[in-house]
A and B are shown apart, each in its own frame.
Chain A
C-alpha cells in the first residue's frame, strides 16, 4: 500500500540554524501539507500546497518557513533560522483532492532545537 515517507525521523539542531525536512508524498496525490505537533499540544496545520504554489497557510507559517517541491517526488519544509519554540513533531500529508478527501500522513520528523 502506498505511503507517505519522511526523512529524517529525528533531527537535532542549534538555534539559528536552517533545517530542511523532507517528504515523499503518495505518487498520484495532488495536494500536500505540513502539520506540526508541539509536545503535549494538538496537531496544527501549517501549510497546504497545490499546483506548485501555496494554497492555504496558517498564522504559524511566517517568513521563516518555506515549502518547495523541487522535483516530481519530494516535498520539503525549510525553516530558515530555527527557534527553540520550533521544536516539535512535523508531519507531512498528501491527498488526491481537498475537503472530504482523506489526507494520508507520514510518520513524522521530530525536530529538537537546542
Chain B
C-alpha cells in the first residue's frame, strides 16, 4: 500500500523567506503526485501535480515541486513566502490506474512578518 510522509507538522518562515515543505512517498513504480492547500474553513485546492511529464512542476501562487525518483521525493518550494501562504499543505499520491488519493498528514505553514 502507498504511504506518504510529510516531515514536520509545522513549518515557520518569515515573510520573504524560502518555503520548503517535504514529501516522500513509498512506491516501486512512480505514482502520480499532488500538492493540495487548505485554507481555514475551506476545502482542499490543488496547487500542482506530477504526471510523468517534466520533473519540475510549476503550480499556482508561485509554488513549484520537483519529482526525484532516486529520492522518492516531491518537495514543495516557493522562493519568497507571503503572509497569504499561511495554510495547511497536503502531499498526496495516486497509483497509476487507480483513483484513490493517499494523503500525508499535512504541514501547517506559518508566515511571520
Measured CB to CB, the nearest residue on chain A to B100 is: A45
Chain B residues contacting A108 (CB-CB under 8 Å) are 43
Chain B residues contacting A75 (CB-CB under 8 Å) are none
- Contact among A45, A50, A55, A107 for B101, CB-based, below 8 A: A45
Q: Does A82 sit within 8 A of B, measured CB to CB?
A: no
Measured CB to CB, the nearest residue on chain A to B92 is: A43
Query: Can you offer 25 A-B residue contacts whose CB atoms are under 8 A?
Result: A33-B101, A41-B105, A42-B104, A42-B105, A43-B101, A43-B106, A55-B99, A56-B98, A91-B44, A95-B99, A99-B32, A99-B94, A99-B95, A99-B96, A99-B98, A99-B99, A100-B51, A100-B52, A102-B34, A103-B46, A103-B99, A105-B36, A105-B45, A107-B41, A107-B43
Interface residues of B (CB under 8 A from A): 32, 34, 36, 41-46, 49, 51-52, 90, 92, 94-106
Interface residues of A (CB under 8 A from B): 4, 31, 33, 35, 41-45, 48, 50, 55-56, 58, 91, 93, 95, 98-100, 102-108
Measured CB to CB, the nearest residue on chain B to A97 is: B99
Measured CB to CB, the nearest residue on chain A to B104 is: A42
Chain A residues contacting B36 (CB-CB under 8 Å) are 105
Measured CB to CB, the nearest residue on chain B to A41 is: B105
In the bound complex, what is the Cα–Cα distance between A93 and B46 (angstroms)? 12
Chain A residues contacting B43 (CB-CB under 8 Å) are 4, 91, 105-108
Measured CB to CB, the nearest residue on chain B to A101 is: B99
In the bound complex, what is the Cα–Cα distance between A43 and B44 (angstroms)? 10
In the bound complex, what is the Cα–Cα distance between A42 and B98 (angstroms)? 20
Contact A42–B41 (Cβ < 8 Å)? no
Contact A48–B99 (Cβ < 8 Å)? yes
Q: Give the Cβ gap from B46 to chain A, nearest Cβ, in Å.
A: 5
Contact A45–B102 (Cβ < 8 Å)? yes
